[in-house]
Structure 1
């Protein structure tokens, strides 16, 4: 990308054409942060919000109830524990890296925690 030539846009004016500086590109880190903000944000539509909150409660409840009641092999239990540990590390990283999503992330984690408790 460093080899690319810059594109100069010429805008017509009353004195002829004049070059206009191109807008600054957003860094990849800002794009990453914006993507996570959009992914974690609660939906604006009331029906989508109700579905999202219900899914945040029922899916963890289903998993935790099957964890307790079904005889799962130990390798599946260990795999789930490793997945939960990795999810916790990613959540801690996101909480520190993108401070704007801290409250929404904590709300979502709280809903998941309540769902786990409901399943037990």
Structure 2
């Protein structure tokens, strides 16, 4: 069966919304459960490293802003407490062993 670009796009959007995959079954496009993705240990370690870098960068940004607030005496609410939490979080991130495929990352401060 032939589908127009619009029909295909409509099916693809629906599949995405439902967390499904598009698959041709007996000449017709069907929404099916996606096949599980199996990553190699190398891929997982690579993702762990990227995640660690990204989370440390985010923590650095939060810390820099909170430090500026304190340095310029522009404190509101619990910003000094937030700064300590983000610094602790950053330290915990640096201790994550990304070479472990089961690496656990600390929870972000709230």
Q: Which interval holds the TM-score relative to the shorter structure?
A: 0.3 to 0.5
Structure with greater proportional helix content: 1
Please, what TM-score do these two structures have when normalized by structure 1? 0.32
| Larger relative contact order (CA 8 Å, sep ≥ 6) | 1
Please, what TM-score do these two structures have when normalized by structure 2? 0.34
